[in-house]
Chain A
Amino acid sequence: MLPNMSLQEKSQKTAHPSGDNRFKLLDRAITKHQGRGDSLIEILHVAQGIFGYLENDLLIYVAHAIKLPISRVYGVATFYHFFNLKPNGEHTFVLCMGTACYVKGAEQIQNALEEHHHCKFGQTTKDNKVSFITARCVGSCGLAPVAVLDNAVVGKLTRDESIKRVEQMRNSVKATEQTVQEVVV
């Protein structure tokens, strides 16, 4: 996409050269924020919600659309932990490792899950179903130990319960359509 194209011209375009309709959703969000550089973080949130992760081409596209240097967009995308530059599995299991959760045995849950599902935290299971991620503190210390399963907070976890939950995730069907809807609205 040409960098010197005005926003209006862009919104009038019917499709991205790649023919990927998801760019239309992204363009709509950029227009909503009037293409301002200040809204970079909001736009990256939307972009990640639509595409699942932020690949380099997508970052370049965003940079051109809101007239920022590519370095700035890349810098912001890498600074914040929320943004993934690599794809995750279909589901995410984010285990909180904050002080309260740690004291309540989050590490035992981590070890049990790693052993049972043969996947280390920071990686995705071989079937590409579940990504295991650790978080610093998700702000639900009263429910410790806590995990965030596909955006839903689950508290007072036990080892058996977490293994069961992950198994359910591995057996379930894809549910990304709904999340896309949620982010755009």
Chain B
Amino acid sequence: MEKYILPNIPNYHKIDVYEQHGGYAALKKALQMKPDEVIDEVKKSGLRGRGGACFPTGLKWSFMPKGNDKPKYLAVNGDESEPGTFKDRQIFEFNPHMMIEGIIIGCYAMGITSAYIYIRGEYRKWIKMVDGALADAYAKGYIGENILGTGFTTNIYTHCGAGAYICGEESALMNSLEGERGYPRVKPPFPAQKGLWGMPTTINNVETMANVPLILNKGYDWYSKIGVAKHPGPILVGISGHVNKPGVYEVPTGVPLLTLINDPQYGGGVPNGKKIKAVIPGGSSTMVLRGENLEGVNMDADSLKAAGSSVGTAGLIVMDEDTDIVAVLARIAHFYHHESCGQCTPCREGTGWLEKMLHRFEHGEARQEDVEMLVEVANQIEGNTICALGDAAAWPVQSFVKRFREEFEKRVKVKEEVEAA
């Protein structure tokens, strides 16, 4: 398939090369249209957010209030900190202008004059690259005052995060942009009513924004025919773990997971011909799938939902037959305990308990009833917190125990030993 987001064109990150290949044409086209028409185009394309929740982008944009009586903001989420996810980095490095073009189009559609790109602090090198690309776009008059003589003005800024996973959550991201601790906010009010500095705000993922120029360039009809109908478009899949060729691959949605893992074009199979034991399909917070149940599961929202997981950020982590499932889950639990912001008790305390219990499993000190207790603690966290981090911590535990129960029961201390102790 032809590649659109990460095409094989050398120096595509440079503005001249990008323009030679039709770059910024979508912007020119959008600026000729009415803002509402642009939103309508995106709506009809069926583009769904690439940040994990798969929310329809056009619909999200249409929630923004009309008129200019208040300042409005766009925040672009490039905080990707989910273990297994490394797709936005490729856009920053190889195709920043497509993202920038998408941001300007989004600003025009929603009448926004300031946009912020929030990039995680670990990506210092890529922040510099994006800053460079922004400077080039300013110099060419695509950003700034009176863009291409249309009288439309918008500015784009980068913001460097400071190493907090929680800041990828949209309301925590807004707090972080305001220079506060990254605490998620209670919703409602939703960001479209009351977001950054109390003003209407839209938050979109980096990859989502990079898809927007494609839609404007080639029309919603063309875009909606890529991949599966309910979740169309090209998607960046990050494959990592036990595969021969880990990396980020652009595919249309709906490619089978087994193709992604085994096809020499993509993952290239598991090293040493080992079997697949488990796959996490969309970054560490999505539910794990057993290796033998991968037949017929595709990389799109509906197929993965039917299989009992979700597409998340399309960060595929493959684990071979020798992997210690309990140790992996203990590692994931440690991550969420470490990253819990501490606002809600179920998450702050619960993630700690999960980690402690899994530590016991890992070192053969767990009791029989701990298997049930793990699930119970996870159930107590899920849905009882302000933001989705609580759910993200609970889902791996629930699914690992559900799908690999025997691995946990094997690690339980035998009864006689308990009594003897």
* 29 A–B contacts, CB within 8 A, in A order: A40-B179, A41-B159, A41-B161, A41-B179, A45-B121, A45-B162, A79-B181, A80-B163, A81-B162, A82-B121, A83-B162, A98-B84, A98-B335, A99-B83, A99-B241, A99-B284, A99-B317, A99-B331, A103-B328, A137-B82, A137-B335, A139-B80, A139-B122, A141-B83, A141-B240, A141-B246, A141-B317, A142-B238, A142-B246
Say whether B137 faces chain A, with CB atoms less than 8 Å apart. no
Contact partner of A139 (CB less than 8 A), chosen from B123, B177, B241, is B123
Establish whether residues B165 and A136, one from each chain, have CB atoms under 8 Å apart when the complex forms.
Answer: yes
Interface residues of chain A, those whose CB is within 8 Å of chain B, are 36-42, 44-45, 72, 75-76, 79-83, 97-100, 102-104, 135-144, 148, 151
With known contacts A41-B179, A76-B180, A100–B317 Cβ distance under 8 A:
yes
Contact partner of A141 (CB less than 8 A), chosen from B315, B319, B339, is B315
C-alpha spacing A38/B116, complex, angstroms: 13
Say whether B348 faces chain A, with CB atoms less than 8 Å apart. no
C-alpha spacing A1/B86, complex, angstroms: 44
Q: By CB atoms of chain B within 10 A, which of A36, A37, A79 has the most? A: A79
Q: How far is the CB of A63 from chain B (nearest CB, A)?
A: 12
C-alpha spacing A144/B242, complex, angstroms: 10
Interface residues of chain B, those whose CB is within 8 Å of chain A, are 80-86, 89, 120-125, 159-165, 176-182, 238-242, 246-248, 280, 284, 315, 317, 319, 323, 327-328, 331-332, 334-335, 338-339, 341
Establish whether residues B179 and A76, one from each chain, have CB atoms under 8 Å apart when the complex forms.
Answer: yes
Taking CB as reference atom, which chain B residue is nearest A106? B331
C-alpha spacing A17/B341, complex, angstroms: 37
CB-CB under 8 A from A143, the residues of chain B are 246
Taking CB as reference atom, which chain A residue is nearest B248? A142
- Describe B's contact surface by its main secondary structure: mixed
Contact partner of B178 (CB less than 8 A), chosen from A38, A135, A141, A144, is A38
C-alpha spacing A126/B315, complex, angstroms: 39
C-alpha spacing A81/B340, complex, angstroms: 12
Contact partner of B83 (CB less than 8 A), chosen from A76, A82, A136, A142, is A136
Contact partner of B162 (CB less than 8 A), chosen from A44, A75, A138, A148, is A44
Q: By CB atoms of chain B within 10 A, which of A76, A136, A139 has the most? A: A139
Known contacts A72-B180, A151-B125; 5 further A-B pairs (Cβ under 8 A):
A41-B179, A45-B162, A99-B280, A103-B328, A142-B86
Establish whether residues B338 and A136, one from each chain, have CB atoms under 8 Å apart when the complex forms.
Answer: yes
C-alpha spacing A102/B177, complex, angstroms: 31
C-alpha spacing A119/B99, complex, angstroms: 43
C-alpha spacing A143/B85, complex, angstroms: 12
Contact partner of A82 (CB less than 8 A), chosen from B84, B162, B335, is B162
C-alpha spacing A135/B98, complex, angstroms: 30
CB-CB under 8 A from B284, the residues of chain A are 98-99, 137
Q: How far is the CB of A169 from chain B (nearest CB, A)?
A: 19
Establish whether residues B331 and A139, one from each chain, have CB atoms under 8 Å apart when the complex forms.
Answer: no
CB-CB under 8 A from B332, the residues of chain A are 99
Establish whether residues A80 and B164, one from each chain, have CB atoms under 8 Å apart when the complex forms.
Answer: yes
With known contacts A82-B121, A103-B319, A141–B85 Cβ distance under 8 A:
yes
CB-CB under 8 A from A81, the residues of chain B are 162-164
Q: How far is the CB of A121 from chain B (nearest CB, A)?
A: 13
With known contacts A139-B122, A141-B317, A38–B179 Cβ distance under 8 A:
yes
With known contacts A103-B319, A136-B339, A79–B164 Cβ distance under 8 A:
yes
Taking CB as reference atom, which chain A residue is nearest B246? A142
Establish whether residues B162 and A151, one from each chain, have CB atoms under 8 Å apart when the complex forms.
Answer: no
With known contacts A38-B179, A99-B328, A139–B120 Cβ distance under 8 A:
yes
Establish whether residues B84 and A137, one from each chain, have CB atoms under 8 Å apart when the complex forms.
Answer: yes
Taking CB as reference atom, which chain B residue is nearest A151? B124
Q: By CB atoms of chain B within 10 A, which of A80, A82, A136, A148 has the most? A: A136
Taking CB as reference atom, which chain A residue is nearest B334? A97
Q: How far is the CB of B273 from chain A (nearest CB, A)?
A: 17
Establish whether residues B242 and A137, one from each chain, have CB atoms under 8 Å apart when the complex forms.
Answer: no
Q: How far is the CB of A136 from chain B (nearest CB, A)?
A: 5
Establish whether residues B241 and A103, one from each chain, have CB atoms under 8 Å apart when the complex forms.
Answer: yes
Establish whether residues A144 and B182, one from each chain, have CB atoms under 8 Å apart when the complex forms.
Answer: no
With known contacts A45-B121, A97-B331, A138-B122, A144–B165 Cβ distance under 8 A:
no
Establish whether residues A42 and B328, one from each chain, have CB atoms under 8 Å apart when the complex forms.
Answer: no
C-alpha spacing A146/B80, complex, angstroms: 16
Contact partner of B86 (CB less than 8 A), chosen from A38, A82, A97, A139, is A139
With known contacts A41-B162, A81-B164, A99-B317, A137–B176 Cβ distance under 8 A:
no
CB-CB under 8 A from B315, the residues of chain A are 141
With known contacts A136-B83, A136-B335, A139-B122, A79–B182 Cβ distance under 8 A:
yes
C-alpha spacing A99/B80, complex, angstroms: 14
Taking CB as reference atom, which chain A residue is nearest B239? A142
CB-CB under 8 A from B162, the residues of chain A are 41, 44-45, 80-83
Taking CB as reference atom, which chain B residue is nearest A143? B246
C-alpha spacing A59/B314, complex, angstroms: 40
Establish whether residues B121 and A139, one from each chain, have CB atoms under 8 Å apart when the complex forms.
Answer: no
